[in-house]
């Protein structure tokens, strides 16, 4: 993984399922190729294999279970991600919260399979706790930027800056991404200027009228 | 779906991940072709697309989420199953229990997407409640047959017989499968004789030294 | 339990914690004494013992766990309710949803301890499934009446009538309560006229400026 | 709270429900009075009010929910603990695991109500993450001591020593308790010698033939 990184979470938006997942991933591949910026795509679970087999940007799952291979019906073990050629997984997204111990186990199991982890956290305190769990990246979603529609470039600078500093203080090997408030190139620039080593975004890309242009503008703002 | 049916749950056994999922599914395809018996395979989540695109037996997911497409990171909507050409999904397996309301929502969403549901239940009372939720099939796992290692062919006949009758009394459109105690052809024969319209098995097949022979023997016992 | 019954869920409203729980329960005791109508109170968990020791109306918990006594930290077993002199428990309230199998186990454990169960359900299908689980009462919360602010007395009559009929068809021993849309005496009257044998209400009572008067008016409407 | 502290978790053992909870708490009160050692009792949920009103040792709940007072049926808010005169709560016991964010919220809500928190954690990594969440105490349950029946006094010293050091390194205001492997006075002595500021035990006390003598021996070993 090369930093700064732009991580695209497709969630389960209809605009990003099936063939759409492939199309949105190929756009990412083109922009990454043209600009040299690292771009990660996170398609929905059933699209992972198809996307990983057809595009050459790192593909992450949106979730992985802490259980190993074995008698666990409906589970998604890290080994499955490895077998399909993925590069890692998001963990503990605000739409898929996990038990403290399961986060710890999942991070360890990803690492044991040479896969990367992006741990999503909320406020400064949970972000610091998250850093202690030794994921590769932490995507901080400051409550001040979620649901309020406030963009990073318009928010008080200390919100992102402090979050980065607090996480680094607990574990300076963790790469901190800004996981909320990213709608345009100016937000990417602001996040990096404030110390983040990347951004995590979703609907702004998936639901854009021209996702490829938006992504190119963002990559150029890096 | 043609009854009686043999449903094979691969769980997340290492012996059934990746290429193994394909191999075990192709065996099922051969046996189904030779014997004319309906055989369903349930590979692990990340193997679903590959298997569904390469074998011509019905492929079921091991789990599906009740949420529709949308902002639900890490969710598996019924629409994803449909897009990948699956035929349906297991629900509420004892290793992936669900809220009452989520079972109801998931059954409805599968149906809305022209997909079949196999609802796993335990004792007679939850099986009767399950029948009221109108799934296509119910796989009853009588507590007397789980974990005890007792095979259906050796168990008291009334355990299966009564379960089938109780479920049918609540909803006679539901097909009842025997979801526990199936290790060999004699168990398949016993389950059908006692009123079941199919069987659900896992480790007996996945961990068999000769899965194809076991499955052929079971299919011939139908 | 005598029907029709008025069940008052105090939830964890500040207006119903601690001494307020006692005050609201004593009002219920007075109205029950004066009108002869059966009134059940459901105080928050830590108020249960105090209320049960001081008032003579049936006291129900808002939730009970399916686990028996034993090494289960933070669990609330049915035996605890029995020891404190409670009469039963709500189960599966929309703010405390349970697994299908846990509802079944909790209903059975309440019955084994001679305690009554009020199972909360939503639409007609989950209500029918709920009836199969053999609780003493089902509090139906028709989606058409939740969150919409529509009162039972103003709603289409068939919403409640059909729900009662469907539940009774699965299990005619279950008493059906109307669990949504009850704000005033006219709603109680409407619910009973449409076949319900009681009502379950919360904020309308707890947050009333004059809860005792409201409850007396409701009891007289029975 | 005075350190070292002995924390007694009654769980939901039948031997510790109802009147038994009072008897076991009164023993703790006597031993605390005689020896001057701080002893905390954690009775089951429905026994909390009775015990807190009758004994003069600090009483902790076994669990508290992160939600504030409000429309949360079956929830246990920190305000309820405060109203009943409790001193704090256990959180995230291995039998009642919580989401990362819920632990963070529950610790904060306890603090806002002037209540203490004892956060239970497992291995070193989750213990370090736990320390970042700023609870008052962390009860570490090293996997090497759980389920293996190995007592602290017989275990490799570094298991406890390292855990204490790692937690203190993240947050030196947190008091570290040894939460596993405590059966007799020699284990209490060993835990304190290795740096712990207290112990958390359960069945050894609750199921002892002579709990008062055991507790006195433990208190004298402090």
Please answer whether residues A74 and B202 qualify as being in contact, where contact means their C-beta atoms are separated by less than 8 angstroms: no
Cα end-to-end distance, chain D, whole Å = 15
Q: Any bridge partners for residue B137, and if so which? A: B118, B175
The count of C-alpha atoms lying within 13 angstroms of the C-alpha of C137, restricted to the half-sphere facing its C-beta, is 32
List subunits contacting chain B, requiring 3 or more Cβ pairs under 8 Å.
A, C
- pLDDT over 70 at D93, yes or no: yes
Whether C73 and D12 lie within 8 Å, measured CB to CB: yes
**pLDDT value of position C214:** 98
Whether A11 and B80 lie within 8 Å, measured CB to CB: no
- pLDDT over 70 at D96, yes or no: yes
The pLDDT mean for chain B works out to 95
The total number of structural domains that make up chain B? 1
DSSP string for B141-175:
--TTTSSS---GGGS-HHHHHHHHHHHHHH-TTSE
**Which residues from chain B sit within 8 angstroms of residue C99, using beta carbons?**
97-100
- How do residues C56-103 score in pLDDT, each as one tens digit? 999 999 999 999 999 999 999 999 999 999 999 999 999 999 999 999
Q: Which ipTM was obtained for this model?
A: 0.96
Residue C47 C-alpha, separation from nearest chain B C-alpha, in angstroms:
28
Whole-number percent of chain D with pLDDT over 90: 89
Cα distance between residue D128 and residue B51, in whole Å: 43
**pLDDT value of position B159:** 87
Q: Flag whether residue A113 sits within 8 Å of chain D, measured between CB atoms.
A: no
Cα distance between residue C62 and residue C206, in whole Å: 15
Is residue B81 in a domain?
Answer: no
Residue with tokens 């024969």: B189
- pLDDT over 80 at C111, yes or no: yes
Whether C46 and D13 lie within 8 Å, measured CB to CB: no
Instruction: Check if B19 is active-site.
Output: no
- pLDDT over 70 at D108, yes or no: yes
- pLDDT over 90 at B31, yes or no: yes
The predicted model gives D112-123 an average pLDDT of 97
Q: Which of D30-39, D81-90, D106-115, D143-152 has the lowest mean pLDDT?
A: D143-152
Instruction: Check if C141 is active-site.
Output: yes
Q: Which of B206-210, C213-217, D146-150 has the lowest mean pLDDT?
A: D146-150
**pLDDT value of position D145:** 81
Beta-strand relationship, A198-201 and B175-178: unpaired
List subunits contacting chain C, requiring 3 or more Cβ pairs under 8 Å.
B, D
Cα distance between residue D109 and residue D106, in whole Å: 5
**pLDDT value of position D132:** 97
The predicted model gives D71-95 an average pLDDT of 98
pTM of the model: 0.96
**Which residues from chain C sit within 8 angstroms of residue B122, using beta carbons?**
101
**Which residues from chain A sit within 8 angstroms of residue D140, using beta carbons?**
none
The predicted model gives D201-221 an average pLDDT of 97
Q: Which of B7-21, B143-157, D171-185 has the lowest mean pLDDT?
A: B143-157
**pLDDT value of position C147:** 66
Cα distance between residue C28 and residue C212, in whole Å: 7
- In which domain, by residue range, is D87 found? 5-221
**pLDDT value of position C60:** 98
**Which residues from chain C sit within 8 angstroms of residue B108, using beta carbons?**
125
Residue B63 C-alpha, separation from nearest chain C C-alpha, in angstroms:
15
Whether B73 and A95 lie within 8 Å, measured CB to CB: yes
Is residue B37 in a domain?
Answer: yes
CATH of the domain at B43: 3.20.20.70
Please answer whether residues B90 and B115 qualify as being in contact, where contact means their C-beta atoms are separated by less than 8 angstroms: no
Q: Which of C3-17, C111-125, D153-167, D205-219 has the lowest mean pLDDT?
A: D153-167
DSSP string for B1-49:
--SSEEEEE-TB-GGGSTHHHHHHHHHHHHHHHHH--EEEEE--GGGHH
- pLDDT over 80 at D146, yes or no: no
**pLDDT < 50: residue spans in chain A:** none
The pLDDT mean for chain D works out to 95
Q: Any bridge partners for residue A78, and if so which? A: none
- pLDDT over 70 at C140, yes or no: yes
**pLDDT value of position D151:** 85
């Amino acid at each position: 993984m090369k930093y700064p990184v732009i991580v695209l979470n497709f969630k389960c938006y209809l605009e990003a399922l099936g063939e759409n997942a492939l199309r949105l991933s190929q756009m990412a591949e083109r922009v990454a190729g043209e600009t040299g910026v690292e771009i990660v795509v996170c398609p929905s679970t059933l699209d992972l294999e198809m996307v990983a087999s057809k595009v050459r940007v790192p593909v992450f799952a949106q979730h992985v279970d802490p259980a190993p291979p074995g008698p666990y019906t409906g589970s998604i073990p890290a080994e499955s991600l490895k077998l399909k050629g993925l590069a890692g997984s998001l963990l503990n997204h605000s739409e898929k919260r996990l038990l403290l111990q399961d986060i710890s186990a999942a991070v360890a199991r990803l690492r044991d399979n040479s896969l990367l982890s992006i741990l999503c956290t909320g406020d400064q305190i949970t972000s610091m706790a998250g850093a202690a769990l030794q994921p590769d990246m932490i995507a901080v979603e400051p409550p001040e930027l979620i649901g309020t529609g406030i963009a990073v470039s318009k928010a008080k600078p200390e919100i992102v800056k402090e979050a980065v500093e607090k996480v680094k203080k607990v574990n300076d090997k963790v790469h901190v991404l800004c996981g909320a408030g990213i709608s345009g190139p100016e937000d990417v620039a602001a996040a990096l200027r404030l110390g983040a080593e990347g951004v995590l975004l979703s609907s702004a890309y998936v639901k854009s009228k021209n996702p490829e242009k938006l992504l190119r503008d963002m990559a150029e703002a890096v």
